[in-house]
Every structure is written in C-alpha cells, then in structure tokens.
Chain A
Amino acid sequence: MTAEQAFRFGRADHLIGIAGLPATPAPVGAIVLNAGMVHRVGPFRLHVDLTRRLNAAGYPTLRMDLSTLGDSGASGQNQSHATEVLADVADAMNLLGTHAGCERFVLIGLCAGAANSHTVACVNPRVAGVVFIDGYVYRTFGFNLRHYLPRLLSPVRVLRRVARMARQRRKPEGRAVFEVTVPPRDQVRRNYADMLARGLKLCFIYSGGISEHFNHARQFGEIYGPLARDPGASVHYLAHTDHTYALTADRKLLIDTITDWFADRFPLANRR
C-alpha cells in the first residue's frame, strides 16, 4: 500500500500537494496539475483515483494546487502566469525528487491543466512526458465535413441543435469553467515537434465533450500532420465521454488509458 503524504512546499512555502510515495523509489514520477479552478482532487475526484492507480503500479505522484488555486496561496512574486506556472512545477519536481527519488517527470493535465503542462514541457528539461487531456485542438476541413454534413442532411438534428443552443444561452454560467486561450496552430505544432525531438513521450487524449472542436481520432493527423505518426506520440479519442468524465465508467476508461500508457512508455523494472 502506497503512503500518501500532505505537503506545504515551494519557494514561498505557499503550495499544497499530496504526494503518493510507493515503497520503492522510481526514476519517473507523475505530477497532476489543476483542471480549471477545481482543487487538486480533480473533477469528480479524478486526480485522486488516477494518482492512486499510478501509485499501485509503482509510480510516485503529486497532485497539487498551483499558486492561488485550491489551497495554495500566492507566491508574492510579481510574475506572469506562465513564469509562475514554470516555477510552481519546478518546486513540485524538487519535492517529488527529494521524497521519491525521481529524476524526471510526466505532467498530466486536463484542459487548463493541459495548457499549463504544455507551457512547462516547452522549456523544462526534467519533463519526460506529458498526458494532454483535451489539450489544444483546431477545427479542420475534415472536422467541418464530419460536423456539418450530417446536420445538413437531417432536419431533426438541425432542430435539436437549435434547441440545445437556446438552452445553453439561458444557462451560460455552467459552461465556462475550463476555458483557455488557444495559441496559434503553427506555434503549437512546432512546440510538439520540438518536444518529440527531445525524446519526450506525449499522450493526447480527447473526449467527446469537446465535439464542437474535435470529432475523430483522425483529426489529430489533420491538425498536426506527420507528428501523428511519430513513435513518441499516442492519440486516444474517447468519443462517448464528456469533458470532465462525470460518470464512473468513463473515469475508469480514462485512468486505464493513462496507466496503460505509463506501463508502455515508462516501464518499471520488476514491477507489476
């Protein structure tokens, strides 16, 4: 059984995180970043279940709150958001390195967490891999064909769509929890190419909950071209799930996907 330990840590002693520390040290640990404003337990406690599964497989983990999120305070340093995220994750790596013996790290993030993982993976040499859950995507010609063609051919679907838009217009505040600013596609493509060239392992997982932006596993190749065939990249499309994995079976599927990817890309010697 893996022990979990609560920590206050960081350059200003302002960050809060829960480390899962398996009995045997491991070279690679996982750091799970906040999904939007949800504190470190994650949407529907996803991060708790995920980190405990990874711990059971032998990987040290840290689920943490970035500066000013969850239980973490402000660093008191006058920094840009990106600089603060870089410093927070560096602090997290130092903590997990000290307590679990990890030298390199896999970042895991959903939506805003994926965006913050992206920021760190671009520059931090201790990142060994990233799990992007509903990370950056862009509509493509193929997306538009798959999205609009069936609707044009089905008046019922057009009416259903109009009704759904009307409902969402009446309830705008329940839908904008995880919005992030998306950088230009060419920049993101260059970033991913650079990460893969540096040997990072990248796992891209997309849910059916972002069907207004992504609607087929093939779309990753439509967006990022040859990166989709890079052996360091894995792409998974969990079409029937929602953005935050509200149902238990969907969370299990997501966690299975991530733990299988860990076992494949970061195998631990003599572990199950």
Chain B
Amino acid sequence: MSTRNGADEPIQFGPQSLFGMYCPAAGSTPRGGVLLCAPIGQEQIRGHRLYRQLAHAMAAAGFAVLRFDCYGTGDSPGESLKVSWPQCLADTATAAAELRRRSGCDQLAAYGTRIGGSLALAAAPAAGLARLILWDPILDGAAYVVQLDAWQEWLRKDPGRYPRPRPAADAAGQWLGFAVSPALRHQLLQWRPEPPAVPTVLLQSAEVATQPVPSSFLAAGVQRRTLATPSPWLDPGRLETTVFAPDMVRAACDCLLGTA
C-alpha cells in the first residue's frame, strides 16, 4: 500500500468551517470519490490511523478521498457536548458537496465504521451517496446507547485506571470520556436505520457476523462480507488502543474496485 506522504491536504470547509483531510486520486482523472465518515467519541480517536490508511489506499487505487470531522468532534469547531445527530447528518452532506467540488466527481461512495457507518447510511439520500461500504455499523441505536452506558460504568470502575471506583457523578453524562448531551442520547436511542436504497456492502468482524442483520436490509440486496479477524471495537479494555485492520482495508478497497 502506498503511503503517498504529502499527498493529502488539510482543509476547512462549509458554514461550520469543518476540518477535513482531502486526498486527491493518484493519476490524472479520478475513478470516483469516496467520503470517509468517522465514528464519534473515542472510537474516532482509535480509528484515526485506520482512516488515514484507508484514504491513502483508496487514493492510490485512483479515488479522490475526503475524511472529515463533524461539528464538535476531532479538529472541527464546537465542544463535544454540542455533537448532535441532525448536525452530523448535515455535516456529512456538506462534506459530500465539498468532495464533489474538489474532485469534480459527481458519483460518490461512502465508507463508515461503527456509528460512522450509521451516519453514512442515514445521510446517503440527502448527500446523494451512490454506494456504501460499512464496517460493523451500528444498526440499533438503543442497543448502542446501552453498550456505551455499560462501558462508561466500566470505565469509572477500571482498576487499571483508578485505585478505587470514581463516584457515579464524576462519570455522569459521558460516554467513554466524552461529554454527551441529553439530546444526542435521545437521538441515538430513537435511531433505527432505513434499508439502503443504494448498493451497500456490510463488512462484518467475525463475532459481529453472527448477529442478525435486519431482514429489510437483506431484502434490499445488502451484501455481507465476513472478515476473519475479531472486532477491535467490543472490548473496553482496549479503550485507548489504536485500531489496525489491514484485512478490512484490503476488503474495503476490493469492494470499491468491484473485485470483492
């Protein structure tokens, strides 16, 4: 995989002055554009390196790639407490428009991991995304909220982190170290995905592949690919471990190139 040092360009765009890294396609004419939708919170930080590798691999394969931070996440303006689902959807559409403008590509694919995959799925109609590649996306918002609550409870009691459990009040209103507004919590609790109207591939880690996918997804023709490696996302003990997933990067590029 080419690393193409120096190819990607830090940009700020849209009415919110969102932060992004634009990676032009190798070669003169891009084969298409790919929007990389990041997860939020600690999963975004853990996955940053992975997204950079994906961007470089896809650019080397001839695609123009934009990864970006939604409002209140990463380097974009706003506090973590201001993150909201509708704003993330609007930011995804803004980022898609920016990618079209920079690359000249009208047809865009989108890739997303975890809640970033859910964002790509939910934003696809408004953002005009033509294809989706999703790695272990969250397909049940309420179950995700329960999981995040449980992990936050685990965090405040983690004996490797604190000599004695921290009071519940110290950890309230947060998910894995990030402040969360009641509004975002409510929005995720209510979220259920509509089946995608565009060609979609679900890349599923080994243990995630054993869980049921909504029947409406299968009826909509969603394809499933199972990765041999276990999910790096499901163990809170790896809360601060950078995610490397070379098999997933290969699989995502293969899906993009139509060779999977």
Within 8 A of A (CB), among B206-239: 235, 237-239
Q: Does A81 contact B (CB under 8 A)?
A: no
Q: Within 8 Å CB of B74, what residues of A? A: 41, 45, 48
* A244 adjacent to B240 (CB under 8 Å): yes
Chain A residues near B49 (CB, 8 Å)?
Answer: 37, 39
Enumerate B176-191 residues with CB–CB distance to A below 8 Å. Answer: 176-179
Contact digits for B25-51, partner A, Cβ 8 Å, 1 yes 0 no: 000000000000000001001001100
A71/B21 contact (C-beta < 8 A), A8-B10, A164-B159, A177-B240 known: yes
Closest to A241 in B: B162
Contact check: which of B5, B6, B171, B242 meets A247 at CB < 8 Å? Answer: B171
Let me know if A13 and B6 touch, CB within 8 A. Answer: yes
A168 to B161, CA, bound (A): 11
Question: Does residue B150 face the partner (Cβ distance < 8 Å to A)?
Answer: no
- Which B residues, 67 to 92, have Cβ-Cβ distances below 8 Å to chain A? 73-75, 77, 79-80
Chain A proximity of B235: nearest CB distance (Å):
8
B240 near A208 with CB under 8 A, answer no
- Give which listed residue, A8, A39, A73, A243, contacts B45 with CB less than 8 A: A39
Q: Shortest beta-carbon distance, B226 to chain A, in Å?
A: 23
Complex: A244 Cα to B161 Cα, angstroms: 9
What is the interface size of chain B, counting residues whose CB is below 8 A from a CB of the partner?
A: 45
Name the contact of B240 in the complex, choosing from A40, A43, A49 (C-beta under 8 A).
A43
Question: Closest residue of chain B to A9, judged by CB?
Answer: B10
Are A5 and B12 interface neighbours, CB within 8 A? yes
Task: Find chain A residues with CB under 8 A from B173 CB.
Answer: 248
Question: Does any Cβ of A come within 8 Å of B250's Cβ?
Answer: no
* Alpha-carbon distance between A13 and B9 when the two chains are bound, in angstroms: 11
Question: Do B75 and A7 touch across chains, with their CB atoms under 8 A apart?
Answer: no
- Report the separation of the CA atoms of residues A240 and B156 in the bound assembly, to the nearest whole angstrom: 12
Q: Given A6-B10, A39-B45, A174-B237, is A242 in contact with B161 using a C-beta cutoff of 8 Å? A: yes
Would you give the 0/1 interface string for A222-251, flagging 1 where the beta carbon is closer than 8 Å to chain B?
Answer: 000000000000000000101110111110
Interface status of A103 (Cβ within 8 A of chain B): no
Which residues from chain B contact A174 at a C-beta distance below 8 Å?
160, 235, 237-241
Contact in complex: A39, B240 (CB < 8 Å): no
Residue of B nearest to A13 (CB): B6
Count how many chain A residues have C-beta atoms less than 8 Å from C-beta atoms of the other chain.
46
A39, A44, A242, A244 interface centre (most CB from chain B within 10 Å): A44
Q: Closest B residue to A74 by CB, please name it.
A: B5
Chain B residues with Cβ below 8 Å from A211 are 163
Choose among A6, A160, A242 the residue that contacts B162 (Cβ–Cβ < 8 A): A242
Distance to closest chain A CB from B160 (angstroms): 6
Query: Once the chains bind, are A246 and B155 in contact (CB under 8 Å)?
Result: yes
Considering only residues 145-203 of chain B, those with a C-beta below 8 Å from chain A are: 155-156, 159-163, 166, 170-171, 173-174, 176-179
A14 at the interface (CB under 8 A from B): yes
Cβ-neighbour of A37 out of B77, B155, B163, B242 (below 8 A): B242
Residue of B nearest to A248 (CB): B179
Give min CB distance, B155 to chain A, whole Å.
6
Q: Are the C-beta atoms of A43 and B45 separated by less than 8 Å?
A: yes
Q: Given A39-B45, A71-B10, A248-B179, A45 and B80 touching (CB < 8 A)?
A: yes
Interface residue? B140 (CB, 8 A): no
In the complex, residue of chain B having the shortest beta-carbon distance to the beta carbon of A250: B170
A209 to chain B, nearest CB (A): 7
The reply to whether A248 and B77 contact each other, CB–CB distance below 8 Å, is no
Within the complex, the shortest CB–CB distance from B32 to chain A, in Å, comes to 23
Interface: B3 (CB within 8 A) = yes
A-B contact pairs, 5 of them (CB 8 A): A6-B12, A45-B74, A175-B160, A246-B176, A246-B239
If A8-B6, A49-B79, A244-B240 are given as contacts, then 4 extra A-B residue pairs at C-beta distance below 8 Å, sorted by A number, are A13-B6, A164-B160, A168-B160, A250-B170
Interface residues of A (CB under 8 A from B): 4-8, 12-14, 16, 18, 37-41, 43-45, 48-49, 70-71, 73-74, 76, 160, 164, 167-168, 171, 173-175, 177, 208-209, 211, 240, 242-244, 246-250
3 tightest CB-CB pairs across the interface, nearest first?
Answer: A73-B5, A6-B10, A44-B177
